[in-house]
Amino acid sequence: MNGAGAHARGGRGDAATTGGGAPGGHGGTPGGPPGRGAPAAGGTPGHGRTEPRTPGGGPDRAPASGVGPGPGPGPASGRGPDPGRASGRGSRSGRGVDPGAGRGPRPGAHDLVLLPPVDVMRPRSADEIPAQGRPPRELQYSLKLDGFRALAFVLGDGKVVLQSRSRRDLAPEFPGIAAHLRDQLPPGIVLDGELCAYREGRLSFTDLLRSPADRARAGVPVSYIAFDLLAVPGRDVRALPLRDRWELLGTALVDAEPPLQRVLATQDEETARDWFRDLRDAGVEGIVAKSLTSTYRAGSTWAWRKIRHMETSDGVLLAVVGPPDRPRALVVRLADGRTVSTSPRLTPAQSREVGALAGDRAGPLAQDPEHGPVRWIDPPLPVELRQLAVRQRQENATFVRVRSEG
């Protein structure tokens, strides 16, 4: 199914197939082939650009062609307004809040109403994409991207903090993104989103673990894909329902340029199912279904549900095998409570990832009767696993990544 067809699916009474951040080409068209920037059939000019305005060429910049996301298509003509842009260019007020307030002269401290660290709102895992109700629709479906979760705080004096789920500042690791957000957004704004790297037209989580210099030499671009808004200058908006926060987010990013984009989202269930099926090869993990009435509350909640492709599952990292800063394998607890070792051997990038996040939690070498010499991790870390077939009654799991940053 081509990109235009996927976009047309979003027009069945869907007033909210909006945003960017769909990998696979300039246009960010769902399911579109890499490197093609043609807009979806019936796309309305002004709701989506088919070419990034900023070419690649430096670390953390948007790609010039062929890789990474382009801004997504807007709703087809005559199919209703884009709620993310509902305030329009003529009025940046949204619902009494101006996300662009403060552009120009630097605002005072009263505009910085939300400072790091802030705990994020987390979706709970679900097996199936939930059904959409009859109008007025109560669910938003957005792409679940494979990247680093990060809250973006634009503070005074040109400082930007990219706070991970574990409260670590990722800005030094993504200086190009931090500089771009500082230039594009007013102090006082706080976004929730995902840092995503792209290689050969698909999301590349492993490249996020590389240094900015390494990514620049390899020509690997990074984008910040925003999916929520926590604060605007002078006002904390977490108590507003998602429906209003999404509208304000669209207004705040109406003039934003790549690599800053809004995630691709829809209120049409069938479109979400198409994305779940068609964007898997582009590295999209799945779909996040969110209640449009949900306020932003720290911690996990059933108001947000993540549906990932079924070959991966959540587990817990219990111990490392080998040097704690460069382990060869892991001992993990599966979702059903069983404890198994990972196989095959960790790749160099995976070994460095685990060492960086778990090495300082590793205890002394201990002999485990089932797994041999190990170092127990305290406290344990959440991980993503892919289970393998049973081999001689010994079931293993393949390590995918540590979940503390994603």
Helix H, strand E, coil C: the string for 198-262 is EECCEECCHHHHCCHHHHHHHCCCEEEEEEEEEEECCEECCCCCHHHHHHHHHHHCCCCCCCEEE
Please say if the pLDDT value at position 284 is more than 70: yes
**Which pLDDT score, from 0 to 100, does residue 5 have?**
32
- For 28, residues 6+ apart whose C-beta sits below 8 A from its C-beta are 20, 21, 22, 48, 69, 70, 71, 72, 73, 261, 264
Catalytic residue among 144, 159, 290, 306: 144
**Which pLDDT score, from 0 to 100, does residue 202 have?**
93
402 versus 297: the higher-pLDDT residue is 297
Domain limits, the chain: 3-69+110-308, 312-402
Please say if the pLDDT value at position 11 is more than 50: no
Mean pLDDT of 184-189: 97
- For 330, residues 6+ apart whose C-beta sits below 8 A from its C-beta are 317, 318, 319, 320, 321, 341, 342, 346, 354, 383, 399
Please say if the pLDDT value at position 4 is more than 60: no
> How many C-beta atoms lie closer than 10 Å to residue 218's C-beta?
13
Mean pLDDT of 39-53: 29
pLDDT interval class at 400 (50, 70, 90): confident
What are the C-alpha distances in Å from 305 to residues 133, 290, 291, 360, 404?
16, 6, 9, 32, 18
Least confident range from 25-34, 113-122, 220-229, 247-256: namely 25-34
Tell me how far apart the alpha carbons of residues 303 and 278 are, in angstroms, rounded to a whole number.
25
Q: Which of 76-80, 97-101, 376-380 has the highest mean pLDDT?
A: 376-380
**Which pLDDT score, from 0 to 100, does residue 21 have?**
52
Average pLDDT of the residues of the chain: 77
**Which pLDDT score, from 0 to 100, does residue 75 have?**
30
> pLDDT digit string (tens) for 304-322?
999 988 667 889 999 999 9
Tell me how far apart the alpha carbons of residues 331 and 350 are, in angstroms, rounded to a whole number.
14
Mean pLDDT of 365-380: 94
% of the chain exceeding 90 in pLDDT: 55
DSSP class of 16:
-
CA angle 327, 331, 336 (to 5 degrees): 150
Tell me how far apart the alpha carbons of residues 252 and 17 are, in angstroms, rounded to a whole number.
18
> pLDDT digit string (tens) for 97-119?
444 443 444 456 678 999 999 99
**Which pLDDT score, from 0 to 100, does residue 48 have?**
32
Q: Is 306 a catalytic residue?
A: no
pTM value is 0.63
Can you name the CATH fold of 3-69+110-308?
A: D-amino Acid Aminotransferase; Chain A, domain 1 (3.30.470)
